[in-house]
Chains A and B, each alone.
Chain A
Amino acid sequence: MRPSLDDPRVAIPAESTWYEPAPTPQTERQAEFLSLREGEMFVNMGPQHPSTHGVLRVIIKVNGEKVVDLDPVLGYLHRGVEKLCENADYHQAICYTDPLEYVSSLFCEAAPVAAFEKLMDVDVPRRAQYIRVLTMELNRIASHTLFQGWMALDLGGITPILWAFIERDEIVDMLAALTGQKLLYNYYRIGGVNGDLNHEFMSRLGTWMSRAAAQIDSNLALINENEIFVRRTRGLGVLDAKTALKMGVTGPNLRASGVPFDLRRDRPYLVYPELEFDVPTRDEGDSLARYLVRMDEIKQSIRIIDQVLHEMPDGPVMAKLPRLLRPRPGRAFGAVEGPRGVYGTYAISDGTDQPFRMRIHDPSFVHLQLVGPLTKGNLIADTMAVMASLDPVMGGVDK
Chain B
Amino acid sequence: MAITRDPKFSNLPEVQPDGSVQLPATVGNTLWSTDDPRAYGGLPLEAHPNLELARYDATGDGRVDDARWGGALSAIPTKADVVLDLIRANSLWPLLSGLACCAIEMMSTATPKNDIDRWGMFPFRASPRQADVLIVAGTLTTKMAEPLIRLWEQMPEPKWVVAMGDCTCSGGRYKRSYSVVQGIDRVMPVDVYIPGCPPRPEGLIYGMMKLQQLVKDRRGHWPERAIGPTVPKGI
Interface residues of A, Cβ cutoff 8 Å to B? 1-13, 16-18, 47-50, 54-55, 75-80, 83-84, 87, 95-96, 99, 102-103, 146, 161-162, 165-166, 168-169, 182-184, 394-395
Please state if B101 and A102 are interface contacts (CB–CB under 8 Å): yes
- B227 / chain A contacts, CB cutoff of 8 Å: 4, 6-7
Please state if B153 and A55 are interface contacts (CB–CB under 8 Å): no
Q: Does B82 contact A (CB under 8 A)?
A: no
Contact flag A76-B197 (CB < 8 Å), given A10-B15, A50-B126, A84-B176: no
A84 to B144, CA, bound (A): 19
Question: Can you identify 18 A-B contacts, CB atoms within 8 angstroms?
Answer: A1-B18, A6-B227, A6-B228, A17-B1, A18-B1, A49-B126, A55-B99, A77-B99, A77-B139, A79-B141, A79-B174, A79-B177, A80-B174, A83-B177, A83-B178, A99-B173, A169-B113, A184-B197
A133 to B27, CA, bound (A): 65
Q: Does B97 contact A (CB under 8 A)?
A: yes
Contact flag A162-B144 (CB < 8 Å), given A9-B9, A395-B101: no
A108 to B28, CA, bound (A): 58
Contact flag A183-B198 (CB < 8 Å), given A76-B143, A165-B108: yes
Interface residues of B, Cβ cutoff 8 Å to A? 1-6, 9, 12-13, 15, 18-21, 25, 27, 96-101, 103-105, 107-108, 111-113, 126, 138-139, 141, 143-144, 147-148, 151, 153-154, 156-157, 173-174, 176-180, 197-198, 200, 227-229, 231, 233
- Shortest distance from the beta carbon of A341 to any chain B beta carbon, whole Å: 20
Q: Chain B: which residue is nearest A75 at the CB level?
A: B143
Label chain A's interface by main secondary structure: loop
Please state if A50 and B180 are interface contacts (CB–CB under 8 Å): no
Label chain B's interface by main secondary structure: loop
A-B CB contacts (within 8 Å), total count: 142
- B233 / chain A contacts, CB cutoff of 8 Å: 1
Instruction: Please pick, from A3, A5, A146, A162, the residue contacting B3 in the complex, using a CB distance under 8 A.
Output: A3
- B156 / chain A contacts, CB cutoff of 8 Å: 6
Contact flag A80-B180 (CB < 8 Å), given A9-B9, A75-B143: yes
- Shortest distance from the beta carbon of A84 to any chain B beta carbon, whole Å: 6
Q: Chain A: which residue is nearest B154 at the CB level?
A: A5
Please state if B153 and A6 are interface contacts (CB–CB under 8 Å): yes
Please state if A161 and B101 are interface contacts (CB–CB under 8 Å): no
Contact flag A79-B179 (CB < 8 Å), given A7-B227, A103-B104, A169-B108: yes
Smallest CB-CB A-B distances: 9 pairs: A4-B228, A165-B111, A11-B6, A1-B19, A102-B101, A80-B177, A76-B144, A169-B113, A80-B179
